[in-house]
């Protein structure tokens, strides 16, 4: 699945809390910041691979080489002298399923002692899992609602009006009855989102 967009966040907050929002620029910036936080929490940077395969140079210091990011698929592994190593003959990737966290050389005589160049798709996956999409939506929604509860707007120069909850710029414009109670409850959304992020954290330590 793709990452949620501003329309998805607006729909989520409307359906869950009865709060009507307009404007997308601020919300889009919040989504970008939340994806960056996802990458920081999980250790996958990027979390989702987009575009063509890319290359990374990785030092080889033994039969197992920890990778600097998750590896979704590998196109080639080339040694410092231009030798191309063959998966299944010279090395294997682990664990059994992507994202892979290490290269395992098959036989001590096969691995070089200099950096190799690995080309492939880097990250956790080529698309966002459904629970991560929900978690991003929850995190962004929680922060918007937190701003509402404090009377704070993300962009400078905005005005604030309580009662019908209106803002002069790209942000929340109106709220239905009972929304203030929902704002308090919504703070739990951020905790739920962060717990989901943590479940995807890398277990391999690269250094």
The pLDDT of residue 188 is 83
Radius of gyration of the chain (CA): 22
Measured distance CA(176)–CA(207) in Å, rounded? 51
Average pLDDT score over residue span 12-34: 82
Q: How many angstroms separate the CA atoms of 90 and 110, rounded?
A: 6
The pLDDT value given to residue 160 = 37
Report the C-alpha gap between 31 and 138 in whole angstroms: 10
Separation CA 146–CA 139 (nearest Å): 11
Which CA distances in Å does 182 have to 2, 9, 145, 146?
27, 16, 9, 11
Q: What is the dihedral of CA 78, 80, 83, 84, to 10 degrees?
A: -10
- The average pLDDT across 23-30 equals 82
Provide the H-helix boundaries in the chain: 6-17, 25-42, 130-150, 179-199
**Dihedral angle over CA of 140, 183, 201, 11, nearest 10:** -40
CB atoms within 10 A of CB 17: 22
Residue that the structure tokens 């920081």 belong to: 40
Q: How much is the pLDDT for 183?
A: 59
pLDDT over 60 (residue 118): yes
* Angle, vertex CA 181, rays to CA 184 and CA 31, nearest 5: 50
- Report the predicted TM-score, pTM, of the whole model to 2 decimal places: 0.80
Confidence of residue 4 (pLDDT cuts 50, 70, 90): very high
* pLDDT for the residue 125: 96
Phi first, then psi, for residue 184 (nearest 5°) are -65, -45
Mind listing the pLDDT tens digit for each residue in 136-188? 999 998 888 777 666 544 443 344 343 333 333 334 434 444 445 555 666 78
């Amino acid at each position: 699945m793709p990452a949620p967009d501003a329309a998805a966040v607006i729909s989520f907050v409307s359906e869950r809390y009865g709060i009507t929002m307009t404007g997308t620029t601020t919300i889009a910036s919040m989504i970008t910041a939340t994806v960056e936080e996802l990458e920081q929490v999980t250790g996958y940077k990027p979390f989702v691979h987009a575009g063509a395969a890319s290359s990374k140079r990785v030092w080889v210091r033994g039969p197992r080489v920890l990778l600097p990011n998750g590896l979704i698929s590998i196109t080639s592994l080339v040694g410092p002298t231009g030798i191309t190593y063959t998966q299944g003959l010279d090395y294997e990737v682990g664990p059994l399923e992507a994202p892979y966290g290490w290269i395992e050389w098959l036989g001590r005589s096969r691995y070089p002692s200099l950096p190799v160049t690995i080309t492939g798709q880097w990250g956790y996956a080529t698309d966002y899992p459904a629970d991560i999409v929900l978690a991003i939506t929850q995190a962004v929604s929680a922060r918007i609602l937190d701003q509402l509860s404090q009377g704070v707007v993300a962009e400078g120069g905005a005005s604030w009006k309580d009662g019908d909850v209106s803002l002069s710029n790209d942000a929340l414009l109106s709220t239905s009855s009972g929304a203030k109670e929902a704002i308090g409850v919504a703070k739990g959304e951020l905790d739920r989102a962060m717990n989901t992020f943590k479940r995807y954290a890398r277990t391999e330590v690269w250094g």
